[in-house]
């Protein structure tokens, strides 16, 4: 007998039929002799409907009242899912976030979990009940209801799995698992049997939007064994764990991309100590996330450097830089918007020299020039012109032996809450 935490996203419980299918799946798991705790998101469009109603009354509601409103979405789906399980002749009980023991900091809309006191969940399990928990929500010490922000239900599942010492935390979603790259671009993308937390984090951050990075970090920190799999079939999913066993000849596990990249270059900056801190401090204060930063050498006391931001933030980043001109002498600021970032990710890279060099070679053979490069122990990213993204990804996928014979069909990743 194992203890499972099973998380189902909003599209998995989007209507009565899907809700019934999920209930059946939970009962099958119990029939195999396991204990089940289910974490569930708000049904399909519920969240959007609630936001729409709120906006009609107040375009700027307080975060507290939004939390009050939004948490009803999960409360509705958890109670309906319990009823669906009960209709299959099993005992089920649902708990809101606060009933399941989630204690959070006193911040609305993006609270962090401080502690979990899961005694009611454990008592229900001991009674042989299937436990359904509302994702995405908790309570402060003062009895205020809070939410976790994006990826919140994934985080609920992982955190609860850690708190009750579950054997596995299964994340059911609308894709079969984690793929070597986006199957919409590369038809012969490979479904990964296993992947390490660190690789998953790089892939998640880079846009393979199946698991929220915060949930992966939580899983890594608490050694929770994650499985990402489809709620629409019984295919084996992808296991996310400490160390993935490496397949023969596969150094790179996956290829990720980000289409939302803009580059800003500041040329001829007076090079004095603290100049970088000044520039990026100002950007941070304006709430702008900077991704890659590259500084070329210094010549005649002047330096050039470039950084990337998301396209939507490029305008505001430019005006921050222009606002600095008085105190920070520079010759020129330029920007470029039609760019993408492509990254190879693999825990094996650290012990295989030449992996990055091969990437540069593959990209240049596509006649594409590399604008910026950034490397970490398990990742190499190149910023290139957007027009050639698909060819470059396909070429890299082949070059790193990731192509498989099986063609997959997968819808877009949608379960984001």
Binding site for a second copy (CB under 8 A): 16, 19-20, 23, 50, 53-54, 56-62, 64-66, 68-69, 71-72, 75-76, 78-80, 82-84, 86-87, 92-94, 96, 99, 120, 143, 145
Rounded to a whole number of angstroms, the minimum distance from the CB of residue 95 to a second copy is 9
Q: Which is nearer to a second copy, 89 or 326 (CB)?
A: 89
Q: Which is nearer to a second copy, 107 or 267 (CB)?
A: 107
3-state secondary structure of 331: coil
Rounded to a whole number of angstroms, the minimum distance from the CB of residue 94 to a second copy is 5
Rounded to a whole number of angstroms, the minimum distance from the CB of residue 74 to a second copy is 9
**H or E segment and range at residue 278:** helix 275-285
- Residue-by-residue DSSP string for 14-33: SSHHHHHHHHHHHHHHHHTT
Rounded to a whole number of angstroms, the minimum distance from the CB of residue 161 to a second copy is 22
Q: Rounded distance, CA 57 to CA 322, Å?
A: 38
Rounded to a whole number of angstroms, the minimum distance from the CB of residue 379 to a second copy is 42
Q: At what angle do helices 197-205 and 213-222 cross, to 10 degrees?
A: 170
Rounded to a whole number of angstroms, the minimum distance from the CB of residue 114 to a second copy is 19
Beta sheet of 293-299, edge-to-edge order? 293-299, 302-309, 254-270, 332-345, 379-385, 370-376
Q: Rounded distance, CA 293 to CA 290, Å?
A: 8
Rounded to a whole number of angstroms, the minimum distance from the CB of residue 75 to a second copy is 5
Q: Which is nearer to a second copy, 75 or 335 (CB)?
A: 75
Q: Which is nearer to a second copy, 84 or 255 (CB)?
A: 84
Q: How many Cβ atoms from other residues are within 10 Å of residue 267's Cβ?
A: 15
Q: Which is nearer to a second copy, 97 or 346 (CB)?
A: 97
Rounded to a whole number of angstroms, the minimum distance from the CB of residue 159 to a second copy is 20
Rounded to a whole number of angstroms, the minimum distance from the CB of residue 52 to a second copy is 10
In contact, 136 and 67? CB cutoff 8 Å: no
Q: Which is nearer to a second copy, 79 or 310 (CB)?
A: 79
Q: Name the nearest CA neighbour of 363 among 335, 338, 341, 337.
A: 341
In contact, 94 and 135? CB cutoff 8 Å: no
Q: How many Cβ atoms from other residues are within 10 Å of residue 1's Cβ?
A: 7
3-state secondary structure of 161: helix
Q: Name the nearest CA neighbour of 109 among 40, 164, 54, 162.
A: 54
Q: Which is nearer to a second copy, 1 or 57 (CB)?
A: 57
- Residue-by-residue DSSP string for 338-378: EEEEEEEE-GGGGGSTTHHHHHHHHHHHTT--EEEEEEETT
Rounded to a whole number of angstroms, the minimum distance from the CB of residue 142 to a second copy is 9
In contact, 191 and 409? CB cutoff 8 Å: no
DSSP state of 209: T
Q: Which is nearer to a second copy, 64 or 365 (CB)?
A: 64
- Residue-by-residue DSSP string for 59-96: SS--HHHHHHHHHHHHHHHHHHHHHHHHTTT--EEEE-
Q: Which is nearer to a second copy, 83 or 188 (CB)?
A: 83
Q: Which is nearer to a second copy, 111 or 345 (CB)?
A: 111
């Amino acid at each position: 007998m194992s203890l499972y935490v099973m998380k189902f996203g909003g599209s998995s419980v989007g209507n009565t039929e899907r809700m019934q299918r999920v209930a059946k799946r939970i009962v099958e798991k119990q029939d195999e002799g396991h204990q089940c705790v289910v974490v569930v998101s708000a049904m399909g469009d519920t969240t959007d409907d609630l936001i729409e109603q709120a906006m009609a009354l107040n375009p700027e509601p307080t975060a507290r009242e939004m939390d009050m409103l939004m948490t009803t979405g999960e409360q509705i789906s958890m109670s309906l899912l319990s009823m669906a399980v009960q209709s299959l002749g099993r005992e089920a009980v649902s708990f809101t976030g606060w009933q399941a023991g989630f204690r959070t900091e006193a911040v609305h809309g993006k609270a962090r979990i401080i502690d979990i006191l899961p005694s009611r969940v454990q008592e229900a399990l001991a009674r042989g009940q299937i436990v359904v928990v509302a994702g995405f929500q908790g309570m402060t010490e003062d009895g205020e209801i809070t939410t976790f922000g994006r990826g919140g239900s994934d985080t609920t599942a992982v955190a609860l799995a850690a708190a009750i010492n579950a054997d596995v935390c299964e994340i059911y979603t609308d894709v079969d698992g984690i793929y070597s790259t986006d199957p919409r671009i590369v038809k012969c993308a490979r479904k990964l049997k296993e992947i390490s937390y660190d690789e998953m984090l790089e892939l998640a951050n880079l846009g393979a939007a199946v698991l929220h990075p915060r949930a992966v970090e939580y899983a890594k920190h608490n050694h929770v064994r994650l499985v990402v799999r489809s709620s629409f079939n019984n295919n084996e999913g992808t296991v996310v764990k400490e160390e993935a066993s490496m397949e023969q000849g596969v150094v790179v596990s996956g290829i990720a991309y980000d289409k939302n990249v803009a580059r800003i270059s500041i040329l001829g900056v007076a090079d004095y100590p603290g100049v970088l801190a000044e520039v990026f401090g100002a950007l941070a204060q304006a709430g702008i996330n900077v991704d890659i930063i590259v500084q070329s050498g210094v010549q005649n006391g002047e330096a050039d450097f470039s950084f990337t931001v998301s396209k939507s933030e490029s305008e505001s980043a430019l005006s921050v830089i222009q606002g600095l001109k008085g105190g920070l002498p520079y010759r020129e600021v330029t920007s470029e918007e039609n760019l993408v970032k492509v990254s190879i990710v693999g825990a094996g890279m650290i012990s295989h020299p030449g992996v990055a060099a091969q990437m540069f070679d593959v990209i240049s053979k596509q006649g594409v020039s590399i604008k910026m490069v950034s490397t970490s122990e398990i990742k190499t990213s190149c910023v290139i012109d957007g027009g050639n993204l698909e060819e470059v990804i396909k070429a890299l996928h082949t070059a790193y032996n990731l192509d498989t014979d099986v063609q997959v069909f997968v819808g877009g990743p949608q379960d984001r809450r």
